[in-house]
Amino acid sequence: MNTVEAIALITAAQHPDELFGHHDPSGSYRRLARLTHPDAAGPGAGTAFAKLSTLWRAREKITVRGYELRQPKYKGDLATLYEVHSGLLKLVREPACNDLMVREARALKAIEERGDPRYLPYVPRLVESFRYRADKDVRRANVIAAAPNLYSIEELAQRHPDGLEARDAAWMWRRLLVALGLAHRAGVVHGAVLAEHVLIQPEEHGLVLVDWCYAASAPGERIAALVPKHRGRYPTEVLDAAEPGPGTDIFMAGRLMADLMGPKAPRALKAFAEGCQMRELRQRPDDAWRLLAELDQVLRRLYGPPTFRPFHLP
């Protein structure tokens, strides 16, 4: 095919499938784009190139298992998330990561089946999990029910570069321990308690621990992978591909909250966080519920009886 033929083909097309409706849509798009790009084919090809781009974008508004996908809502470490009527559809970008999506589905099912119903809002609810064929590849998708008005601890830390007031961090820490206690009682270790995976509802004081793709939910299972940019935030058992435990998540939660509060945190809370980050897994606390009770004692000594403290993002 030459440029003249490509322009004629695009000009005549009325639907994306006329250009991309065969075994290699991405390859067809690249070939047509190369032949009609104005930088290579000259300004006369501009109209055809613009139409090609429009039809390709239209094709991207695809329907997957009855869900219409439009512009991505988020792009995570492994998957792209699309807003759908029942929440978020999480579609893995590389088929090589399909097993991680299976892990997430298995972990969330285990928590829902075995966890205390009172605390299930602290983790995402799995609507369904399925395989999807795209081009020549089969990719996994998980549909997750989504709560409104969520912000990550990562966003929060960026807005408070000098550290968050410890009394505000306290309710987040408490709720994170509830999420971990819920999971651990169900036999699940999250394995990636990182700032972008902890979401809060500021005014409601809600929290959701997301991205369970790395989780270990079977006896002897290891944490599936690391988020490369956060390698330095993992405990030794994850780095050494050894068996994790509840203390794995507690280590990462303690480090996360210590960093969120920053250097101005009260000494008692700094010491509490340090106690969660002992080098050896066997040296760390392994019961998030008991740790929550201990944290409450520290907070009561520092601030008196618990009271609701309104929190608004700046």
Q: Specify the CATH number for the domain of residue 117.
A: 3.30.200.20
> What residues contact residue 176 under an 8 Å CB cut-off, 6+ apart?
193, 198, 207, 209, 253, 256, 257
Residues 228-236: contacts with CB within 8 Å, 24+ apart?
A: 230/192, 230/194, 233/194, 235/277, 235/279, 235/281, 236/279, 236/280, 236/281
Does residue 92 share a domain with residue 51? no
128 assigned to some structural domain: yes
Task: Give all strands of the β-sheet with 198-201 in edge-to-edge order.
Answer: 151-152, 198-201, 206-209
Distance in angstroms (rounded) separating the CA atoms of residues 296 and 291: 9
Task: Give all strands of the β-sheet with 87-92 in edge-to-edge order.
Answer: 74-75, 79-84, 87-92, 137-145, 125-134
Does residue 215 share a domain with residue 92? no
Among candidate residues 121, 145, 169, the one where a domain is terminated: 145
Does residue 280 share a domain with residue 166? yes
Does residue 295 share a domain with residue 170? yes
Among candidate residues 33, 60, 87, the one where a domain is terminated: 60
Structural domain boundaries enclosing 93: 67-145
pTM here? 0.82
110 assigned to some structural domain: yes
Contact 210, 121 (CB under 8 A): no
Contact 148, 73 (CB under 8 A): no
49 assigned to some structural domain: yes
Of 107, 88, 30, 16, the residue nearest 58 (C-alpha) = 16
308 assigned to some structural domain: no
CATH of the domain at 184: 1.10.510.10
> What residues contact residue 135 under an 8 Å CB cut-off, 6+ apart?
23, 24, 25, 26
pLDDT given at position 21: 63
Does residue 72 share a domain with residue 53? no
Does residue 291 share a domain with residue 245? yes
pLDDT given at position 26: 78
107 assigned to some structural domain: yes
Among candidate residues 106, 128, 145, the one where a domain is terminated: 145
Does residue 271 share a domain with residue 141? no
Does residue 174 share a domain with residue 188? yes
| Domain count of the fold of the chain | 3
Residue 223, both tokens? 């944490």
Distance in angstroms (rounded) separating the CA atoms of residues 218 and 221: 5
266 assigned to some structural domain: yes
Does residue 272 share a domain with residue 190? yes
Does residue 214 share a domain with residue 122? no
Of 265, 270, 266, 268, the residue nearest 254 (C-alpha) = 270
Does residue 109 share a domain with residue 35? no
235 assigned to some structural domain: yes
Does residue 291 share a domain with residue 170? yes
Averaged pLDDT score across all residues of the chain? 91
pLDDT given at position 61: 63
Q: Which residues of the chain have pLDDT under 50?
A: none
259 assigned to some structural domain: yes
* Largest distance between two CA atoms of the chain: 79
The DSSP letter of residue 307 is -
pLDDT given at position 176: 98
